[in-house]
Amino acid sequence: MIARVIAGVIGLFMLSSAIRWILDPASAAAGLGMVLVEGPGDTTMGMNTQIGDFTAFFFTAGLMACIGAYRNEHVWLYTTLSLLGSAAIFRIYAGLIHGADYLTRAIAIEIIISVLLGLSIYLMKKSKL
């Protein structure tokens, strides 16, 4: 039961982030240390990319975690784990290789959530034995 609660709370958290990107993308971007960009010249292609990609990221992560929690099936959680775990890895990569500022808060959250998802996966697998 605790595995489902953990996964469900994570899923709802991710879905709420997706909703923020839909309703108030400027605020959602600011929460990730970004400004909503317009793109080269007078276009809004950069903004379209930010809103589309980040909404898709959080929507997919949230939906898969919620499905995993609802169905009590750990396989659904691997998508969310992969998205968040790789985000942390590539944020660290951006700092090490490209000299980007580390968004330490986001990296820590992604690692903590990844560990919690790993725990949920373990507990769900264990309960099926």
* Other Cβ atoms closer than 10 A to 28: 22
pLDDT at residue 44, as a whole number: 86
Q: What is the pTM of this model?
A: 0.92
Q: For the chain, what are the domain ranges? A: 2-128
pLDDT at residue 24, as a whole number: 96
Q: CB within 8 A of 22, min separation 6: which ones?
A: 51, 55
Question: pLDDT tens, 17-61?
Answer: 999 999 999 999 999 989 988 767 777 888 999 999 999 999 999
pLDDT at residue 28, as a whole number: 96
* Distances, alpha carbon 62 to alpha carbons 8, 22, 24, 87, 94, in Å: 8, 14, 18, 15, 25
The answer to whether 57 and 72 have CB atoms below 8 angstroms apart is no
pLDDT at residue 21, as a whole number: 97
Question: pLDDT tens, 79-115?
Answer: 999 999 999 999 999 999 999 999 999 999 999 999 9
